[in-house]
Amino acid sequence: MLAKRLLLLGFATALFVACSDDDGSVDPIATCSDGIMNGDEEGVDCGGSCEPCGTSIENPTTYVFERNSESSVSFGGQTTRILMAEEIITKMKDETTTAVILKAMFAHEEGANDFENTELNASDKNVRGKTAASFDFFSGNATDQALIRADFEGWIDSQVAEVFPRWNEAASAGVAGQLADGSSTRYVTGDGLEMNQLFNKSLIGGLMVDQMLNNYTSNNVLDQFESANDDETLVDGKNYTDMEHDWDEAYGYAFGTAQDLTDPRPTIGDDDSFLNKYIGRVEGDDDFAGIADDIYQALKLGRAAIVAKDYTVRNEQADILRELISKVIGVRAVYYLQQGKNALDQMTPDYGGGFHDLSEGYGFIYSLQFTRKPNSDDPYFTKAEVDAFLADLLDDGANGLWDVTPATLDEISNAIADEFDFTVEQAGS
């Protein structure tokens, strides 16, 4: 049902008539409007015909695009930032490290020995500079950008100043330390927050989602390159146009660490700890099966449309991505709130497991401010609304998550689900 509904969404403005080359390697798509093929003065009835008419989009079976027999796809910067972020969240569990070291990793400068991976050290990329940095949401909003980046640095400070000193001590209400969670040990603040999880999941929104939805697939960003793309003007020394490259960079934030970069679907969820992982987790829920392929297909068709200079189809795929990527964030926010509630709402509360889930939920709630409604310039939830959710999560008592009630977790879950097309029961299972 999900795939069928999205198919209809993608065809709302343009009707696609699919064909196949003799070798089956590409899928040319003719675009139509109101059932009439474009390209003829009087219009030609589509009728399911694959006759060349109007704009023809060659949609490859995998994310492979070439110019002069060489790849025109590039998203190395996105892969680099994901790998940097992986090392940061790993380092946040090293109680011997310092806030200075962690913040240097976050705001890496080219040539600094911040990472174990020497290629990352040589890079001029960093995570901080692309966090809350989209054109649409933050080019004119330096205040919120600064607050958001300060949040990430503040979480580093809390981990080092509050959690590390009590690494080998038991946590209790209002007191940082460690908690058992089955075969794992969780390290939490006095409020019960697991800061490395909170940092990790918040970065999915602040970096990956924001850049994908509000920057690299944004009409405001892409349209400035329309003339150059029409003329196939390549970036100096590269084999791609600016518009092609921007779209590829969006792809990279979802799939830039996949084992097969041209088709990430076989290993979706196993390739990194960020957006890729949670697309895979949502895909694994029967209520949302097919979402990974829908995201992949929208990215692939949008790129093919850019090659064909069909910006209507490109924009339709951007809207599909806005809905689906945002849904991934919403589903996981509700999922972790409900899992945390189940762990805590029992005769003998599982504080380790419950606080772990709720810390992940905190990060996904934080990420909601970077989501984007289709056909809109608005997030599903504003920063103010997100801040209110997070305050509610921690203010049922003096000790944060130690005092949170099932009613509060249900209220937040319902408020999130109500903005999407899923229920708390679907997301929470």
Structure tokens at 24: 């089956």
Name the 3-class secondary structure at 187.
strand
Nearest to 311 by CA among 211, 220, 202: 220
- Predicted confidence (pLDDT) per residue in 348-363, tens digit: 999 999 999 999 999 9
Other C-beta atoms closer than 10 Å to the C-beta of 220 total 13
pLDDT above 90: residue 29? no
pLDDT above 60: residue 8? no
pLDDT value of position 48: 43
Mean pLDDT lowest among 7-16, 187-196, 242-251, 392-401? 7-16
Give 243's pLDDT tier (boundaries 50, 70, 90): very high
pLDDT value of position 28: 55
Average pLDDT over residues 399-424: 98
Give 36's pLDDT tier (boundaries 50, 70, 90): very low
Cα separation of 210 and 354, whole Å?
A: 28
pLDDT above 80: residue 30? no
Q: Cβ neighbours of residue 264 under 8 Å, at least 6 residues apart? A: 254, 255, 258, 271, 276, 296
Residues of the chain with pLDDT > 70: what percent?
87
pLDDT above 60: residue 115? yes
pLDDT value of position 150: 98
Residues of the chain with pLDDT > 90: what percent?
86
Give the predicted TM-score (pTM) of the model.
0.90
Structure tokens at 193: 């927050």
pLDDT value of position 32: 45
Task: Name the one residue in this structure whose structure tokens are 């924001």.
Answer: 210
Do 301 and 317 touch, CB atoms closer than 8 A? Answer: yes
Structure tokens at 36: 């009439």
Give 387's pLDDT tier (boundaries 50, 70, 90): very high
pLDDT above 90: residue 49? no
Do 224 and 135 touch, CB atoms closer than 8 A? Answer: no
- Predicted confidence (pLDDT) per residue in 190-238, tens digit: 999 999 999 999 999 999 999 999 999 999 999 999 999 999 999 999 9
pLDDT above 80: residue 319? yes
Provide the residue ranges of all domains of the chain, joining segments of one domain with +: 1-61
Do 209 and 367 touch, CB atoms closer than 8 A? Answer: yes
Q: Cβ neighbours of residue 37 under 8 Å, at least 6 residues apart? A: 30, 43, 44, 45, 46, 49, 51, 53, 54
